[in-house]
Amino acid sequence: MRPTVFDQKLPLAIGCDHAGFEYKEALKAMLIQAGWAVEDKGTYSADSTDYADYAHPVAEMVATGAAAAGVLICGSANGVCMTANKHKGIRAALCWEDEIAALARQHNDANVICIPARFVSIELAGKMTDTFLSTAFEGGRHQRRVEKIAL
């Protein structure tokens, strides 16, 4: 992994539903190997479950500053993304290509990456997560736009 732009003194929060379980386990191992402390908010098996039960705790950790950033995985990533974005201060981005992960950080200062396990490979999920964690927010004209997101 490349150097991160997030504070590695804080853990990363990670969560998924049953569709994302295999990816979560693979990403968690990758992140730990890269030196991250990882707070796993579940799920802990491939048994059918509800994505919101795991997206809310991840988003809450990021929103309160208890986690540097969040990683959420479900089948399409739509459910976890919608759920996370209900939390004040969260800018969750649904990413399906590496360039989208970079732009989510550069232009939107995203703090949670949402990965669609049914539509990307585990390798691409790892690459996108690495890109997300190592890409800085550009600020400038994008700062004004990000400030307009919250109501």
Domain ranges of the chain: 12-147
- Over residues 95-128, the pLDDT tens digits come to 999 999 999 999 999 999 999 999 999 999 999 9
In terms of CATH architecture, what is 12-147? 3-Layer(aba) Sandwich (3.40)
Please report the pLDDT score of residue 67 as a whole number.
98
At 9-58, the pLDDT tens digits run 999 999 999 999 999 999 999 999 999 999 999 999 999 999 999 999 99
This prediction has a pTM of: 0.96
Predicted local confidence at residue 101, as pLDDT:
98
Residue whose C-alpha is closest to residue 52's, from 96, 95, 85, 25: 85
User: What's the confidence (pLDDT) of residue 131?
Assistant: 98
Question: What's the chain's Rg over C-alpha atoms?
Answer: 14
- Catalytic residue ranges: 74, 107
pLDDT at site 2: 79
> Are the C-beta atoms of 127 and 134 separated by less than 8 Å?
no
Q: What average pLDDT score do residues 90-98 get?
A: 98
Structure-token match 């939390």, residue found:
87
Whether the predicted pLDDT of 6 surpasses 90 = no
Give the pLDDT confidence score for residue 151 in this predicted structure.
Answer: 73
SS3 33: helix
Taking residues 122-136, report their average pLDDT. 97
Q: Is 138 exposed, middle or buried (0-12, 13-18, 19+ CB in 10 A)?
A: middle
